[in-house]
Structures are given as structure tokens and as C-alpha cells.
């Protein structure tokens, strides 16, 4: 239970600064829309984002310096941990990737806050280069890259081993953590489009494309959710035939992260509904109208860092493109239905498979 509370605290610590920065950016945007001075508030949002990335730069450089020291004194780290009575350090897959993969995207994230860079990028995607909200959102794309490279630097196998050594989580704790994560993600999307600052609740939902779906749209969502499952399974089979099959490390890490959800109907419902609520509201609802379907699908795929850079990442990108097309043709709610049905169908298949293995 202690680990669950720590994970919950970690989620709150992760999302709280993001929510604060986005609130500041939207207050600045509101003043900009009303032709009032907004630069001070906008610069406050930029400064907090800049400081976040500056921390990343220092962290990445520190990792590189430590790696250089440990090459000359390989036993130093173990000696320090033994002296302090701490646990053994987590092994790393690639110190270079961990360091460069943090400080380099951090520098790019800082660069995206510069007006000339934003104006250049605005030629290719439908964003407003002068909007404080769009400036922050563009800069935050590098957080997705950092999350991925940080995971790859540690290594999927090493992360799996760490989770195995920890106390096994119950299905209930995994469900609670997943719901909290996705509710916070949806809240970030709502605040990002101006709820509480520039838009009232109905207008914010309309901007996100979250509407009451028609019966036809529900059927479209269910149909696409069911149809995507065999399509993706055929793609996986084709990839395996040419030697690009699923990664054992990905499967093991996914099992450690989400395995308890595959053991009960309530867990499978959570797997579908929670992801549809948070991920679709943020990516298809908030991000896609400004960054376009391709870039949004790329960010969506890369955010699933537990897949590393494998065939599973490509599959998530294809799924994101399909969901993005549904958002464009219908609305975000239709994409939510599709995402939920797709996840729950895969969850049911996994549960039936595990039940057959237990027989």
C-alpha cells in the first residue's frame, strides 16, 4: 500500500506544475484576446517551463560527468551505496542515451519558446505563433521525447526487474492509479483549452470535441474499435513473419504495469474507459486541432514509452492516425468509444488467453 501512495504522490507532483503553467498561459491568452497587457503573465509561464528544462539540462550533464568518473572507478558507485546503507543502484541500459536524451530535448524545448522559432513552425502546423498557450504546448512536446529517452536509457528490462522486486500491486491499486492519471490528463486538456480562464464548461467541451454522440456515432465507434483489433493482429503477424515480432521486454514490462487489470471484468473496463477519457481528451481533443493529425499521432505513440521503439510503437501510431481521422470526421467522443472498445477487446482476449493457460 505504501508503494501505491508513493505512486499517487508522484502523479500529483508531476501534474501540478503542468496545470499551474497552463493556467498562467491561458490567463495570458485571455488578456491577449481582450487587447490587454499579457506579456508578464506569459513570461511567467515561459519562465517556469524554462526552469523545468534547465533542470533537465543539469541532470543530463551530471549523468554524463558521473558516467565518466565511473569509467575510471567502476566500483565507486557500489561502495557509496554500501557505505550509506542504501539499496543497490538501478542498472542502466545506456548512460549516454539517458544523459543526451534529457539535456538535448531540454535545450530544444527552450528553443521552442522563442518567437522566431514558433513563427517558423507555425508555417507547417495550424498553431498561432503568438499564443502563449500554443507556445507552451509546443515546448512541452519535448517532455514526451524526454520521457521516452529516459525510459530507454534505463532499459525496459531493467524497469521490469525493478517492478518485480517491488511488492506486487493489486488490481484495485492499479485501477485507482490509472483512473487518477487519466482524470488528471483530462483535466490538463480542459485547462489547456481555457476552462476556468477563457471558456466556460460547455464551450471547453465543444472546443475539445467532447459532445453527446448520436446513436450512429456510437455504432461507428464500436464498429471501428472491433475492426481495428483483427487489423492490428494481422499487422503484428506480418511484422513477426519478417522478424519484427513483439519484444519480450515490452511484453514483460506491460504485464508488470497492467497485468492485474487483465484478471477481472472491472479491470478490463478500466483499461478501456480510463484511457479513452484521458488520452483522447488530450490528444484528439486538445492537441490535434493545433498540431495536426500526424504530429499528434507521433506524440501519442512516443508517450507510450513502455513500448520503447518497437513494432508496438508503430502500431500505436497507426491507432492514433485512425482515432485522429474519427475526430476529424465526427468528434472526439466517437474516438473515445473506438479507443475504449479497442482496449477492452484486447483485454478480453488477454483474459481469455490467461484463463486457458491456467486450465
Predicted confidence at residue 356, as pLDDT, reads 55
Could you tell me if 100 and 193 lie in one domain?
Answer: no
Cell of 116: 522566431
In a domain, 159, yes or no: no
Owning domain of residue 277: 168-359
Spans of the chain, pLDDT less than 50: 1, 80-85, 359
pLDDT at 165: 72
In whole angstroms, give the CA distance from residue 241 to residue 149: 28
Question: Is 92 within the bounds of a domain?
Answer: yes
Model pTM above 0.85: yes
* Residue of 150, 139, 143 whose CA lies nearest to 63: 150
Instruction: Tell which of 98, 123, 154 closes a domain.
Output: 154
Give tens-digit pLDDT for 97-126. 889 999 999 999 999 999 999 999 999 999
C-alpha closest to that of 275 among 160, 174, 355 = 174
Do 42 and 127 sit in the same domain of this protein?
yes
The residue among 281, 318, 284 whose CA lies nearest residue 301 is 318
Residue 120 sits in the same domain as residue 221: no
* Number of domains, the chain: 2
Classify residue 163: in a domain, yes or no.
no
- Residue 206 domain-assigned (yes or no): yes
Per-residue pLDDT tens over the stretch 197-207: 999 999 999 99
DSSP track, 284-348: IIIIHHHH-HHHHHHHHHHH-GGG-SSHHHHHHHHHHHHHHHHHHHT-HHHHHHHHHHHHHHHHH
CB atoms under 10 Å from CB of 233, counted, come to 13
Instruction: Transcribe 186-236 into DSSP letters.
Output: HHHHHHHTTBTTTB-HHHHHHHHT-----HHHHHHHHHHHHHHHHHHHHHH
Instruction: Kindly state whether residues 218 and 295 are assigned to the same domain.
Output: yes
Amino acid at each position: 500500500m505504501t508503494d501505491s501512495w508513493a505512486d499517487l504522490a508522484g502523479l500529483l507532483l508531476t501534474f501540478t506544475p503542468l496545470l499551474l503553467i497552463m493556467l498562467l498561459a491561458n490567463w495570458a491568452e485571455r488578456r491577449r484576446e481582450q487587447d490587454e497587457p499579457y506579456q508578464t503573465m506569459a513570461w511567467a509561464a515561459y519562465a517556469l517551463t524554462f526552469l523545468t528544462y534547465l533542470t533537465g539540462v543539469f541532470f543530463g550533464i551530471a549523468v554524463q560527468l558521473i558516467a565518466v568518473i565511473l569509467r575510471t572507478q567502476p566500483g565507486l558507485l557500489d561502495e557509496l551505496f554500501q557505505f550509506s546503507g542504501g539499496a543497490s543502484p538501478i542498472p542502466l541500459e545506456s548512460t549516454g542515451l539517458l544523459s543526451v536524451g534529457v539535456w538535448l530535448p531540454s535545450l530544444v524545448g527552450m528553443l521552442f519558446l522563442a518567437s522566431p522559432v514558433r513563427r517558423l513552425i507555425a508555417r507547417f502546423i495550424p498553431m498561432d505563433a503568438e499564443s502563449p498557450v500554443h507556445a507552451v504546448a509546443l515546448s512541452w512536446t519535448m517532455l514526451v521525447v524526454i520521457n521516452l529517452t529516459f525510459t530507454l536509457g534505463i532499459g525496459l528490462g531493467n524497469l521490469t526487474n525493478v517492478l518485480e522486486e517491488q511488492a506486487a500491486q493489486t488490481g484495485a491499486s492499479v485501477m485507482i492509479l490509472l483512473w487518477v492519471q487519466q482524470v488528471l490528463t483530462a483535466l490538463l486538456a480542459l485547462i489547456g483549452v481555457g476552462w476556468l480562464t477563457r471558456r466556460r464548461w460547455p464551450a471547453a467541451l465543444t472546443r475539445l470535441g467532447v459532445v453527446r454522440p448520436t446513436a450512429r456515432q456510437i455504432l461507428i465507434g464500436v464498429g471501428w474499435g472491433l475492426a481495428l483489433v483483427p487489423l492490428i493482429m494481422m499487422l503484428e503477424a506480418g511484422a513477426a513473419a519478417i522478424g519484427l515480432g513483439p519484444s519480450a521486454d515490452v511484453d514483460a514490462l506491460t504485464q508488470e504495469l497492467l497485468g492485474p487489470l487483465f484478471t477481472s471484468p472491472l479491470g478490463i473496463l478500466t483499461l478501456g474507459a480510463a484511457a479513452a477519457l484521458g488520452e483522447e481528451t488530450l490528444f484528439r481533443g486538445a492537441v490535434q486541432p493545433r498540431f495536426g493529425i500526424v504530429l499528434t499521432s507521433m506524440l501519442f505513440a512516443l508517450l507510450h514509452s513502455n513500448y520503447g521503439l518497437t513494432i508496438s510503437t508503430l502500431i500505436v501510431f497507426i491507432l492514433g492516425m485512425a482515432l485522429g481521422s474519427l475526430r476529424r470526421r465526427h468528434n472526439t467522443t466517437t474516438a473515445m468509444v473506438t479507443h475504449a472498445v479497442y482496449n477492452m477487446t484486447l483485454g478480453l482476449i488477454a483474459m481469455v488467453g490467461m484463463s486457458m493457460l491456467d486450465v
